[in-house]
Amino acid sequence: MTLLVTGGAGFIGSNFVLDWLRDHDEPIVNLDSLTYAGNLQNLGALEGDARHHFVHGDIADQPLVERLLAEHGVRAIMHFAAESHVDRSIHGPDAFIQTNVVGTFRLLEAARGYWGALEAPAKDAFRFLHVSTDEVYGSLSGTDPAFTELNRYEPNSPYSASKAASDHLVRAYHHTYGLPVLTSNCSNNYGPYQFPEKLIPLVIHNALAGKPLPIYGDGQQVRDWLHVGDHASALRAVLERGVPGETYNVGGWNEKPNLEVVHALCARLDALQPRADGQSYASQITYVRDRPGHDRRYAIDASKIERDLGWRPAETFDSGIDKTVRWYLAHGDWVAAVTDGSYRAWVSKNYQ
Ligand code: NAD
Ligand code: DAU
């Protein structure tokens, strides 16, 4: 019994791998092409651990995936690998189409061939869990009800369109071939090991570095925030108890305007590591040009996963933000290695 995790050197994938191996002995094969977002330092605690087998490779390399599935007798694929940053998708969509659409298609093809040749009961037990986003549902007005699994897909950015395309492929492989797929659509994650291009780690890093805290537009865009540890526990619930062919919304019941999130981060930093001049970090807030096509509001109705699978987030926004700010304060070396680029040397130093 082995899990194949794709993108397990990224933010959510590495948190999932670390959490999994804390509680399970079932090994993980971790396939990651180590783009700028992949960082093996996230998995440093697993060095020498035989339960973690890292493979440097691309999900679009179908023969490689076929070999890994067969060699390791994989019983489930946890598919995290993606290009994940909306701003990057606006500046350069190509990689998003290649990995999120073509890569997912190649992975599905490899899974279909492998699963098709399995005998019961392994065939019945096999799962393909596709980790997706709430952004596929588009943007809500302030008064709209939160997204349910029945909302129409209306992706607005190249990133969300590429994720929507991959969701449709996953759905089609169930409908057409019977591949036992599960899809999760999750809201904004935060927590340890998040690349400091995303709002929360970027604000913490810039605050401590004395740099501006950039607020796009009026800062009143709303996101639902979920601690990454809660996302990992939701994915375990979906893997263990989810019904093939179903989709599950995952969220934190924590809708917040961006400006409120940034003020909450500044308040924690003011308390834990005050500025030398006694001023609040909030004085570094700077309004900048809005993101093109910026979605106004996302909100997740996570009733289905609670009702059907018994999952609810453990962290509140306050407890999760407090833990996260403390983590970044305690891991300045990790942030420095990411921001000065030296994390990329880790692969050659430790794995070759
Ligand atoms: P991330 O950008 O931090 O990590 C992505 C990982 O995938 C990296 O390790 C990267 O090297 C790897 N990767 C990229 N292209 C690859 C390829 N072609 N082959 C193999 N590996 C490749 O992303 P994340 O924030 O951890 O997100 C993980 C998944 O969760 C994504 O599918 C994303 O769409 C989804 N998601 C993210 C959030 C969020 O708030 N971050 C919320 C909901 C869903
Ligand atoms: O909703 C889930 C999605 O959340 C995931 O699918 C994506 O992979 C993930 O990147 C995230 O997308 P967002 O675009 O919501 O996250 P980001 O951290 O980039 O931005 C959060 C909000 O903060 C958004 O409204 C844009 C705004 N923002 C962001 C940055 C980086 C700023 O105002 N200033 C900034 O500097």
pLDDT in tens, 46-83: 999 999 999 999 999 999 999 999 999 999 999 999 99
Sorted by where each begins, the domain ranges of the chain are: 2-189+226-251+298-313
3-state SS assignment for residue 155: coil
CA distances from residue 195 to 11, 12, 189, 231 in whole angstroms, order as listed: 7, 10, 12, 17
CA of residue 25 to ligand 1 center, whole Å: 24
Ligand 1 in reach of 131 Cβ (< 6 A)? yes
Ligand 1 in reach of 201 Cβ (< 6 A)? no
Which of 199, 178, 177, 196 is closest to 188 using CA atoms? 199
Nearest CA to ligand 1 atom 12: 7
Burial 257-270 (b: 16+ CB within 10 A, else e): ebbebbbbbbebbb
Q: Which backbone phi and psi does 30 adopt, to 5 degrees?
A: -110, 105
Strand segments, DSSP code E, in the chain are 2-6, 28-32, 52-56, 74-79, 127-133, 181-186, 188-190, 213-216, 222-227, 247-250, 255-257, 285-288
pLDDT reported for residue 348: 62
Q: Name residue 256's amino acid.
A: K
Q: How far is CA 331 from the centre of its chain?
A: 20
Tell me the whole-structure pTM to 2 decimals.
Answer: 0.98
pLDDT tens digit string along 180-218?
A: 999 999 999 999 999 999 999 999 999 999 999 999 999
**CATH classification of 2-189+226-251+298-313, choosing from 3.90.950.10, 3.40.50.2000, 3.30.450.40, 3.40.50.720?**
3.40.50.720
Ligand 2 in reach of 295 Cβ (< 6 A)? no
The dihedral through the CA atoms of 226, 138, 194, 339 has a sign that is negative
**How far apart are alpha carbons 164 and 187 in whole angstroms?**
14
How large is the average pLDDT for residues 122-134?
Answer: 98
Position 346 pLDDT exceeds 70: no
Give the ligand at the shortest distance from the Cα of 344. 1
Tokens of residue 198, six digits = 């995303």
Ligand 1 in reach of 223 Cβ (< 6 A)? no
Q: Report the atom number in ligand 2 closest to the C-alpha of 203.
A: 36
Under a CB-based contact definition with an 8 Å cutoff, are residues 208 and 153 in contact?
Answer: no
Position 162 pLDDT exceeds 80: yes
pLDDT reported for residue 345: 77
CA of residue 235 to ligand 2 center, whole Å: 21
pLDDT tens digit string along 240-297?
A: 999 999 999 999 999 999 999 999 999 999 999 999 999 999 999 999 999 999 999 9
302: left (phi over 0), alpha (psi -120 to 50) or beta: alpha
Position 129 pLDDT exceeds 90: yes
